[in-house]
């Protein structure tokens, strides 16, 4: 018996609207995944991915140069309200100053692509440091997102703490309350600060992995 053409779709028939939408959503999702991580995400207790980046003054900075010291990586975007939350009231600067006092290296990383929110050149990055009264060891410019992808960095802020042997000991949020309200800082658990001080003292990190919150990093 021959199949009834009225009850069987023709080979090569165009997919329905729902199918097209599903395929498009899948592709967009895959693009997002590859945007935030070109490789395996870093793991706590393993070597932190090494990198070389140019700082705001045009100097090449290599992570391995700081072997022997605790290092903090802070992803930032001055136009992000979550970032402003921690800079407007001085919270981020106070943790940076504490790092400086304890001989900890603090590297602020800007991974916004040209033309996207938060992008700045070296001169503008230095002006931000002055206007925000920030005290990082250096500000690294990462407009291609290559350093951010090494760490699978997702948000601004997103924090990482590396011990003196180059091992990753903390990755996640700056604190425990994911809002843009400055009033929440005082009652939040300061995850990144706790981790930084614990690593510098050679103590276990209370919460080695936490969920980062903030604006998405503006990858190219």
User: What is the pLDDT at residue 98?
Assistant: 98
Q: pLDDT by residue (tens digit) across 46-101?
A: 999 999 999 999 999 999 999 999 999 999 999 999 999 999 999 999 999 999 99
Domains of the chain are: 17-216 (3.40.30.10)
Q: Any idea of the CA torsion for 63, 64, 66, 67, to the nearest 10 degrees? A: 140
Secondary structure in 3-state letters for 9-42: CCCCCCCCHHHHHHHHHHHHHHHHHHHHCCCCCC
User: What is the pLDDT at residue 81?
Assistant: 98
Instruction: From 130, 160, 125, select the one nearest 143 (Cα to Cα).
Output: 125
User: What is the pLDDT at residue 104?
Assistant: 98
Contact (CB, 8 A) for 167 and 48: yes
Q: pLDDT by residue (tens digit) across 180-201?
A: 999 999 999 999 999 999 999 9
Which two tokens mark 52? 């070389």
* Cβ neighbour number for residue 219 with a 10 Å cutoff: 20
Q: pLDDT by residue (tens digit) across 25-49?
A: 333 333 333 344 445 789 999 999 9
Is 13's pLDDT higher than 50?
A: no
């Amino acid at each position: 018996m021959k199949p009834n053409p009225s009850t069987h779709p023709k080979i090569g028939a165009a997919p329905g609207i729902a199918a097209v939408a599903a395929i498009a959503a899948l592709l967009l999702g895959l693009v997002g995944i590859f945007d935030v991580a070109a490789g395996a995400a870093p793991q706590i207790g393993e070597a932190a991915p090494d990198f070389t980046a140019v700082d705001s003054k045009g100097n090449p900075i290599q992570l391995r140069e700081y072997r022997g010291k605790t290092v903090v990586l802070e992803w930032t975007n001055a136009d992000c309200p979550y970032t402003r939350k921690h800079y407007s009231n001085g919270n981020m600067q106070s943790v940076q100053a504490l790092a400086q006092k304890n001989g900890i290296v603090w590297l602020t990383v800007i991974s916004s692509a040209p033309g996207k929110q938060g992008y700045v050149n070296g001169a503008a990055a230095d002006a931000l440091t002055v206007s925000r009264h920030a005290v990082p060891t250096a500000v690294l410019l990462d407009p291609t997102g290559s350093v951010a992808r090494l760490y699978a960095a997702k948000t601004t802020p997103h924090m990482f703490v590396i011990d003196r042997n180059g091992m990753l000991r903390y990755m996640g949020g700056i604190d425990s309350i994911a809002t843009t309200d400055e009033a929440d800082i005082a009652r939040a658990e300061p995850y990144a600060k706790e981790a930084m001080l614990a690593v510098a003292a050679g103590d276990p990190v209370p919460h080695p992995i936490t969920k980062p919150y903030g604006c998405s990093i503006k990858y190219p």
